[in-house]
Homo-oligomer: A and B are copies of this chain.
Amino acid sequence: MDAPTTHPPTLTALTTYLLSRTGKVARQRLAERLAARDVRLWHMAVLAALADFGPHAQRDLALRLSLDRSDVTKLVEELGALGQVARTRDPADRRRVTVAMTEAGRAALAELNAEAEAVQDEILAPLGTDEREQLAALLGRVFAHLDA
């Protein structure tokens, strides 16, 4: 019997469909690899934010990543247990908890980044170097437009 594995052209003709599908695969593959290191995507986002912008009060992390404050608490707690971030009470405002990266955190982020690039190579395999740059540029503009 025929194995009807082909996708409906009505869908694949939509760029947004392709976007959402490939995006989902990218997300899943990276999530799997991160899970092997006991972190989720949000953990990586927190580490990235700390690496790029320095220490944050938790409320600022929440604002930057568009997360709920209570969820940030949990993420930071978990990263703390892994020794990748350090929490200190802000002496100026003792309600706030300042989160900063540790050396272990920096090393961990480097590894997570390597995983991400590996996934990227898998997924963008059919594209040449210049085409990957094109894609990155196009998506970059779309993305920039989306949170404006």
Contact = CB atoms under 8 A, between A and B. Distances in A.
Contacts of A67: none
Given A20-B27, A23-B23, A8 B132 contact: no
Contacts of A56: 4
When all copies of this chain in the complex are counted, the total is 2
Interface in A1-42: 3-12, 14-27, 30
Q: In the complex, which range does the number of interface residues on chain A fall in?
A: 35 or more
B132 A12 contact: no
Contact of A14 (B24, B60, B64, B120): B120
Interface stretch (A69-77, A79-87, A140-148): A140-148
Contacts of A64: 4-8
B10 A30 contact: no
Interface of A: 3-12, 14-27, 30, 44-45, 48-49, 51-53, 56, 60, 63-64, 109, 113, 116-117, 119-120, 123-127, 131-132, 134-136, 138-147
A9 B144 CA distance: 12
Q: Which of A20, A60, A117 has the most CB of B within 10 A?
A: A20
A4 B126 contact: no
B23 A116 contact: no
